[in-house]
């Protein structure tokens, strides 16, 4: 069993600042909880500052909990997956994320018993289909979950270019009939599979 958490993007924008999400991510794991943070969707130059932000985010919301962090690398991804309890895939450019994940042969086999969190582009990668809010096109994800996802729903992300109703309808009608999740920034859903 793998627990998947799909986030609409920007967890700190949740009404509680992301506290419920942070608690959901570590639920069921003994301390120290081992976080593998994946920034493949972002420019490599940002990874260290992203890790600093994430460390602060989790320390603030999980006070008193013992947490260990590693930044995912393509070279060591499988070993890092084996080490981790929680894999947190942050947003950015979906094309870059899929390219780097696809270079890591066999990583999906390491998901058993873990929690995989995808935020924004991370959620798009996990889903079977998504609406790309940057390019305004429908895309295929990795299909780890048979769902469709629309991230940053009803936000000012890429405003005024997005017609949210149209984007949702297009995604819902795309290819096969699957559950379609429109996730606002900071909003998340949990799916166990």
| Average pLDDT of span 49-54 | 97
Q: What tokens were used for 92?
A: 């950015």
Q: Residue 133 burial (CB < 10 Å; 0-12/13-18/19+)?
A: buried
Residue 153: predicted pLDDT: 98
The structural domain count of the chain equals: 1
150-165 confidence digits (pLDDT tens): 999 999 999 899 999 9
HSE-CB for 66 with a 13 A CA cutoff: 4
Q: Phi-psi region for residue 106, left (φ > 0), alpha (ψ -120 to 50) or beta?
A: left
78-129 confidence digits (pLDDT tens): 999 999 999 999 999 999 999 999 999 999 999 999 999 999 999 999 999 9
CATH of the domain at 27: 3.40.50.880
Residue 39: predicted pLDDT: 98
- DSSP at 62: S
Instruction: Tell whether pTM > 0.75.
Output: yes
Question: Domain span at residue 185?
Answer: 3-192
């Amino acid at each position: 069993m793998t627990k998947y958490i799909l986030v609409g993007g920007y967890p700190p924008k949740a009404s509680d600042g992301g506290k419920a999400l942070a608690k959901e991510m570590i639920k069921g794991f003994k301390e120290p909880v081992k976080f593998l943070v994946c920034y493949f969707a972002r420019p490599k130059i940002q990874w260290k500052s992203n890790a600093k932000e994430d460390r602060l985010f989790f320390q603030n919301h999980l006070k008193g909990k013992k947490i260990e962090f590693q930044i995912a690398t393509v070279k060591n991804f499988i070993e890092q997956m084996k080490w981790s309890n929680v894999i947190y895939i942050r947003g950015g450019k979906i094309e870059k994320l899929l390219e780097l994940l696809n270079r890591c042969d066999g990583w999906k086999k390491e998901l058993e018993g873990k929690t995989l969190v995808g935020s924004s582009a991370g959620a798009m990668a996990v889903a079977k289909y998504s609406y790309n809010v940057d390019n305004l096109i429908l895309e295929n994800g990795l299909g780890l979950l048979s769902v469709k996802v629309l991230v940053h729903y009803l936000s000012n992300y890429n405003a005024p270019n997005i017609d949210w109703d149209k984007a949702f309808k297009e995604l819902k009608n795309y290819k096969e009939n699957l559950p379609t999740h429109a996730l606002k920034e900071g909003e998340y859903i949990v799916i166990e599979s």
